[in-house]
Structure 1
């Protein structure tokens, strides 16, 4: 697979990701939701940290996280370029491209959204507000909106630790970029042998 085709895939994912985020940010207030099905809702939340809302504590925690993501993007980008250059398998290149696109999509939020939007608390945010954004460069929040509460209910009492507690599966809210990363990682795990084929050693001919 050529770098041009991988780049096209990345651009398509980035466009879908950013268009969906821009729409949610400029049409929903924080916490607003639309029920599509019982098991699927559009729910606007903002993620200040990593997966599952995990944060790095401290004054510079958010900045450190964003800089780490930028460094990771560079590393993933090099991995993609190197894999294409070395004639890597299609599965490998598509997987890396998906991971790169997803990581890049969330980086855009982290770097720019704090500057180009005002906050969404009790209101629909404005794009490029006159009064300025809700934060500074590198301190933006990632926009999430895809929510799949496939099952809700109380767990059986006999279950250790969580017995009798109310549980929702699947509780995390995510976005297109997160989905791309997840699909890329799953492809690498499930198609590992096809992604990283071992070179066949030529057998020595007997005289």
Structure 2
């Protein structure tokens, strides 16, 4: 009986240890995301734009909605709606990381998305909106919606999910 108890404890400890690198990646995304947002908030006034290249500006804008300002013009309820979705997604990603810590590409994707989700949830709770500041554009084609480091993590993670799934499908 003591042996069974010991093995289940070591299994839980091993599972937590297996998650450590993935949580570390998520933490790096959160840290870089929050540090860049704090810096831009301190150095820019709302709406201020600073050209960097002929296709890239730094700009301070706020997004009270979701991607591409979806529902951004609503009365404020969307702040808590998107926060709740983010918290549920964070919980699910932690659960999936715990269950599949050895699936490297899958966990890279989850870790990047997790870091991005936490970064944007922090913004929604702290400010009531997400802070965006990276503004890319191409000549007369207009500007891509401004985004942030958290969004980069989410986008790269989503791409890695697709690659992981395609690899999985091609194995069968």
Instruction: Give the TM-score band, short-chain normalised.
Output: 0.7 to 0.9
Contact 2:93 2:114 in 1 (8 A): yes
In structure 2, how many angstroms separate the alpha carbons of the residues matched to 1:8 and 1:59? Answer: 33
Gaps of 5+ in 1: 114-139, 154-166, 201-207
Q: Structure 1 residue 193: deviation in Å?
A: 3.9
Residues 79 and 173 of structure 1, relative CA distance in 2, 3 Å threshold: same
Correspondence 1:185 to 2:172:
no
- Determine if the alignment matches structure 1 residue 105 to structure 2 residue 119: yes
* Structure 2 counterpart SS, 1:2: helix
| Counterpart selection for 1:18 from 24, 31, 34 | 34
**Secondary structure of the structure 2 residue equivalent to 1:30:** coil
Q: Deviations over 1:74-131 (max 9, x none)?
A: 11221222211xx3x2111111100111011000000123xxxxxxxxxxxxxxxxxx
Match for residue 92 of structure 1 among 87, 94, 106: 106
Aligned with 1:80 (options 84, 93, 97): 97
User: What residue number does 2:134 align with?
Assistant: 146
Consecutive unaligned residues in structure 2, runs of 5 or more: 1-16
Write the distance in 2 (CA, Å) between the matches of 1:60 and 1:47: 14
Deviations 1:145-171 (A, max 9, x none): 01111x232xxxxxxxxxxxxx31x52
**Structure 1 range deviating more: 1-10 or 71-80:** 1-10
* Larger Rg, first or second structure (1 or 2): 1
The CA distance in 2 between the partners of 1:70 and 1:51, in whole Å, is: 16
Structure with more helix by fraction: 2
Which residue does 1:39 correspond to in 2?
55
Residues 55 and 139, structure 2, Cα contact 8 Å, conserved in 1: no
TM-score, with structure 1 as normaliser: 0.68
- How far, CA to CA, are the matches of 2:27 and 2:65 in structure 1? 24
Could you tell me which residue of structure 1 aligns to residue 145 of structure 2?
172
Which stretch has the larger CA shift, 183-192 or 36-45? 183-192
Displacement of 1:199 after TM fit? 8.2
List structure 1 runs of 4+ shifted beyond 2 angstroms.
56-62, 190-194, 196-200
Closer, same or farther: CA 28–38 of 1 in aligned 2, 3 Å: same
State the match for 2:14 in structure 1.
none
